[in-house]
Amino acid sequence: MARRQRILNGSMVFRHTLAGATALGLAASVLAAQRNAPVPLLGEPAVRALANELSGAAAKRNLEFIARQHRMRASKGFRVAADFVAGEARRYGLSEVTVHEFPADGKTMYGTQRSRPAWDPEFAELWEVRRGSTGEVPIRRIASFEDQPVVLAQDSDSADVTADLVDVGAGLSDDDYAGKDVRGKLVLTGAQPEAAARLAIDKHGAVGLISYAPNQVSAWWKEDENLIRWGHLDSFSSRSAFAFMVSLKQARALQQRLAGGERITLHATVRAARHAGTYNVVTATIPGADAELRSEEIVLSCHLDHQRPGANDNASGCATILEVARTLAVLFRDGKLPRPARTIRFVWPPEIEGTMALFHARPDLRTRFRAAIHMDMVGGGPVTKSIFHVTRGPLSLPSFVNDVGHAFGAFVNAESDAYASGEGGRFPFVSAEGGKEPLLADLAEFSMGSDHEVYTEGSFRIPAIYLNDWPDRYIHTNFDSPANIDATKLERAAFIGAASAFYLADLRPERMPELWASMKSAILHRAAVVTERRAQLPVDEGAALVRVFLATERAAFASLGRFGNIPAPLSRDTAEFFPKLAALFAPVDPTPVSRGDGARVWLRNPDLTGPMSVFGSNYLRDRSTGPAVRLESFVGLRGGGSEYAYEVLNLTDGQRTAREIRDIVSAEYGPVPLDLIVEYLRALEAAGVVQPRRTAIQ
């Protein structure tokens, strides 16, 4: 899971009508919170049924088993976890429970994803030794894979090496090696193994790495010196290399001894192998009740792979959707909830690459998906410092689905806050094994970092609600353990996921008026944010922001059509609502005429599907012979280069000009120069990802 970006805090429930709103009073009116929120969308009986059955404690029991497995993609440990999940799904009465097997051999392509070969570690130990007349004398064991698998960097190869240790600092520049002989030695580096290996091993001849790379950057990232960070080597490299990960505390002790002139000799033993294997993706369903609509599916997904323990990342998401599956199966079986019209599917893949494999190896499944609820890190307790997010999809995919997730997230916020404050709370969703703190979820704009970005990618366009924690002080470390997981938070995440899935699976035209009422409140909330942002921008950028906002909200309403015919009264209502909404921003400047490069139009290659950035490789960079495109390193107001690049490709549809694409990504992440967009599109063209279609205006 990559670093999350929090955008917008919208943790309250808003109830407003458009009538009487003015531009000056809009921000104040939409930010007025109602303490005791009404039950949204589903109604109280359905919410009560879910609240009575969902169990954060049960989810945590499953999490504890999953967290005991070292779940590398396509490995034996992953298969143990996959078989456990499949077994529980069968026990819960789910249908079509399958452990799919897709090639993971380093050669098979799944769209833009080159499959990574399997990696199976079996044994690894690092000892300090003393060389004597009779051989090596062990002094102390520094690292043991059996005790803590995180000590062995992913994709390490087998080795049996005795060598002296040399401190190279970061080890990322030639200056770090000046005056140091590391050939045939082990190097102590503060960088991630693959980054350091390019100089330490490939250029200067070191035989292995000892890395104390710190945890992912957050306010707490160097605070705990006992953390051991998950490390990585290149899955596709032909070099034979290994790396051990140690804590900052261990590294400093070694550095102090080396600085004092002491000679430190280490013996490293590794038994591990990269080899052709299979991705195992678990899927299961609860079939829909409607003969026509059951072919449409609502998906709950997560990612099952991670180093041990990987409790929040991401045993938490896996255990939580398993609890959603159990709960819904019980409620449907016992008649406490009606079986919905559409099918609900559950997916447990290796992160991103497993989803890509499923989408490409089984397109018959993927084409059924109407929406997804993706959970990646949903259980961090107070000690993790986590903030929970209910995250919308990107502007390239406007959808009412986003407002469904936010409605249920806001409801849990209000109920849990009232309960914690001693003011009631009919549905606090508190586990006997968990805390009683309010959820205070951030109802956030789109951010990247997990499988949801595959669903929402321009090739597939499946709306996704993303539930996630960020920051997490223990992410990717040995301290991401079940002890730091809050059963109450698992239960609350399970409710948001279960309620969203159940509602979407049974959404029909007759239920759309209530949904539209909820959407209008959310639109006014976003209008307040746009008003504030416009005031901080140059006039032309502010005008573009408003145009994009109005067009996006209209498109989100139109997306209801994917779930049935929109009732005529709703269409009439929107014919009044959207002009009044536009009037709040009056005057709305017309879209300027695109000229020159801004008028160029590109079309996506339909035979090449998926995002450019995937685990282990970047499709564009791997095929580029020129300099790096500048967009990938651009930093905007609310996003970085990877976000801009992701959305530019998503928006390349053969209709939008480069200028129109620039305006949309600028509205989403902050203003970006047009020439960076054009340069990136030309790089995509050179790689065969897009092709020029026409020029709108010569």
DSSP string, 148-208: -GGGBPBTPPPEEEEEEEEE-TT--SGGGGTT---TTSEEEESS-HHHHHHHHTTTT--SE
- Chain-centroid distance of CA 58 in Å reads 24
Amino acid 605: pLDDT = 95
d(C-alpha 542, C-alpha 535), whole Å: 7
Residues 111 and 608: beta-carbon distance below 8 Å: yes
C-beta neighbour count of 673 within 10 angstroms = 13
d(C-alpha 170, C-alpha 150), whole Å: 20
First-last CA distance in the chain: 44
Q: Is residue 463 situated within a structural domain?
A: yes
Amino acid 695: pLDDT = 58
Amino acid 616: pLDDT = 74
d(C-alpha 312, C-alpha 541), whole Å: 40
Q: Which two tokens stand for residue 219?
A: 């306010």
Buried b (16+ CB within 10 A) or exposed e, 431-465: bebbeebbbebbbbbbbbbbbbbbbbbbbbebbbb
**Neighbouring C-alpha atoms within 13 Å toward the C-beta of 644:** 29
One domain for residues 293 and 426: yes
One domain for residues 331 and 402: yes
d(C-alpha 669, C-alpha 32), whole Å: 26
Closest CA to 369 of 302, 297, 301: 297
Amino acid 36: pLDDT = 57
One domain for residues 357 and 223: no
Question: Where a domain ends, among 222, 247, 275?
Answer: 275
> What is the 3 state secondary structure string of 516-561?
HHHHHHHHHHHHHHHHHHHHCCCHHHHHHHHHHHHHHHHHHHHHHH
Does a cis peptide bond (omega within 30 degrees of 0) precede residue 587? yes
Sign, Cα dihedral of 135, 137, 142, 145? positive
Q: Is residue 299 situated within a structural domain?
A: yes
One domain for residues 253 and 129: yes
Which residue stretches of the chain have pLDDT < 50?
2-34, 696-698
Q: What is the pLDDT of residues 302-324, one digit of tens each?
A: 999 999 999 999 999 999 999 99
Q: Quick one: 32 exposed, middle or buried, by C-beta within 10 A (0-12, 13-18, 19+)?
A: exposed
Helix (H, G, I), strand (E, B) or coil at 266: strand
Q: Is residue 428 situated within a structural domain?
A: yes
d(C-alpha 189, C-alpha 172), whole Å: 9
One domain for residues 56 and 166: no
d(C-alpha 618, C-alpha 151), whole Å: 27
Amino acid 168: pLDDT = 98
d(C-alpha 232, C-alpha 70), whole Å: 15
Quickly list H helices, 192-291: 193-200, 248-259
Q: Provide φ and ψ at 216, rounded to 5°.
A: -60, 145
State the DSSP code for 694: E
Q: What is the CATH number for 141? A: 3.50.30.30
Q: Is residue 533 situated within a structural domain?
A: no
Largest CA distance in the chain: 92
Host H or E run for residue 604: strand 600-604
Question: Where a domain ends, among 473, 489, 505?
Answer: 505
Q: Which two tokens stand for residue 515?
A: 């949904």
The size of the chain, in residues, is 698
d(C-alpha 220, C-alpha 33), whole Å: 32
Amino acid 37: pLDDT = 62
d(C-alpha 363, C-alpha 574), whole Å: 35
Residues 216 and 377: beta-carbon distance below 8 Å: no
One domain for residues 105 and 160: no
Sequential DSSP letters for 440-478: --EEE----SSTHHHHTSTTT---EEEEEE---TTTTBT
Amino acid 4: pLDDT = 40
One domain for residues 331 and 406: yes
pTM, full prediction: 0.93
Q: What is the pLDDT of residues 120-135, one digit of tens each?
A: 999 999 999 998 877 8
Amino acid 25: pLDDT = 40
How many domains, in total, are found in the chain? 3
Q: Quick one: 635 exposed, middle or buried, by C-beta within 10 A (0-12, 13-18, 19+)?
A: exposed
Closest CA to 493 of 327, 288, 358, 296: 327
Q: Is residue 539 situated within a structural domain?
A: no
Amino acid 18: pLDDT = 38
Sequential DSSP letters for 65-133: HHTTS-B-TTSHHHHHHHHHHHHHHHHTT-EEEEEEEEEESSS-EETTEEPPPEEEEEEEEEEEEEEET
Q: Which two tokens stand for residue 457?
A: 């990618």
Closest CA to 669 of 554, 548, 492, 502: 548
One domain for residues 235 and 346: no
One domain for residues 103 and 124: no
One domain for residues 639 and 501: no
Question: Where a domain ends, among 459, 489, 505?
Answer: 505
d(C-alpha 146, C-alpha 555), whole Å: 53
**Neighbouring C-alpha atoms within 13 Å toward the C-beta of 321:** 34
Q: Alpha carbon of 108 to those of 71, 82, 356: distances in Å?
A: 21, 22, 12
Residues 526 and 553: beta-carbon distance below 8 Å: yes
Q: Is residue 548 situated within a structural domain?
A: no
Helix (H, G, I), strand (E, B) or coil at 268: strand
One domain for residues 178 and 132: yes
Closest CA to 374 of 277, 476, 455, 286: 455
**What is the layout of strands, in order, in the sheet containing 265-275?**
135-144, 118-132, 265-275, 159-167, 186-189, 208-211, 243-245
Q: Alpha carbon of 666 to those of 634, 636, 639, 649: distances in Å?
A: 12, 8, 10, 14
Q: Is residue 644 situated within a structural domain?
A: yes
Residues 151 and 272: beta-carbon distance below 8 Å: no
One domain for residues 232 and 349: no
Q: Is residue 555 situated within a structural domain?
A: no
d(C-alpha 608, C-alpha 619), whole Å: 10
Amino acid 30: pLDDT = 36
d(C-alpha 598, C-alpha 657), whole Å: 6
Give me the domain span that covers residue 138: 120-275
